[in-house]
Amino acid sequence: MQMKTKRGWRRGLSLIETIAAIILIMFAVAVFGATFPTAANAVAKNRNRDTAANACNAELDAWRREGYDKISSTTLKSGSTLLRTASPSSLLGNPASLPAGTVAVTISRLNDTYAVPATAVDTGRVQVTVTATWKGVGADKGSWTLTTIIRQAE
């Protein structure tokens, strides 16, 4: 910027303009810098949510591939409900990156009206519920649950 002085035209910025520019830059850095930790936490939580959902999907797909006949004959021999809790790395989705993660698989027989109150009678349908739970740092904790019904082939 050119300024006119008693000696003629002079190029450059005044001290006030320089200070104002520095203050604006510092304000912009403070505003944008404050959003980075929040964004990093959101990314971590969403990564854990995706990992848990993938683990649940993989586990449900494995039970679907087993089919009703294999589930009812081997898994539910003695009663109407099976509950299995394991570390995530032992399951098919292999979400070893879930912090303090556990996965619970519940298999229950359904009655004739598809109601959840389990029955010991073989009705030809079971409900498989998979829940992945994790506890990260701070607010990064949660669970993801997927449920499916597997019917006997006709």
Q: Averaged over 47-71, what is the pLDDT? A: 85
Among 70, 79, 90, 58, smallest CA distance to 150 is for: 70
Residue 116: per-residue pLDDT: 63
For residue 115, give both structure tokens.
Answer: 């109601």
70/9 Cα distance (integer angstroms): 92
Residue 132: per-residue pLDDT: 87
**Tens digits of per-residue pLDDT, 99-120?**
878 888 888 888 777 776 666 6
pLDDT band at residue 93, thresholds of 50, 70 and 90? very low
pTM exceeds 0.85, yes or no:
no
Instruction: Round the average pLDDT of the chain to a whole number and report it.
Output: 78
Residue 75: per-residue pLDDT: 66
For residue 153, give both structure tokens.
Answer: 């082939």
Residue 4: per-residue pLDDT: 64
Task: Name which residue leads in pLDDT, 113 or 86.
Answer: 113
DSSP label at residue 100: T
Residue 120: per-residue pLDDT: 66
149/128 Cα distance (integer angstroms): 6
Buried b (16+ CB within 10 A) or exposed e, 13-39: eeeeeeeeeeeeeeeeeeeeeeeeeee
Tokens 């997927």, located at residue: 146
Query: Is the pLDDT at 81 greater than 70, yes or no?
Result: no
Task: Name which residue leads in pLDDT, 6 or 152.
Answer: 152
The residue ranges of every structural domain in the chain are: 2-151
**Tens digits of per-residue pLDDT, 5-57?**
666 666 777 888 899 999 999 999 998 888 888 888 888 888 888 888 888 88
Residue 24: per-residue pLDDT: 95
For residue 112, give both structure tokens.
Answer: 């004739």
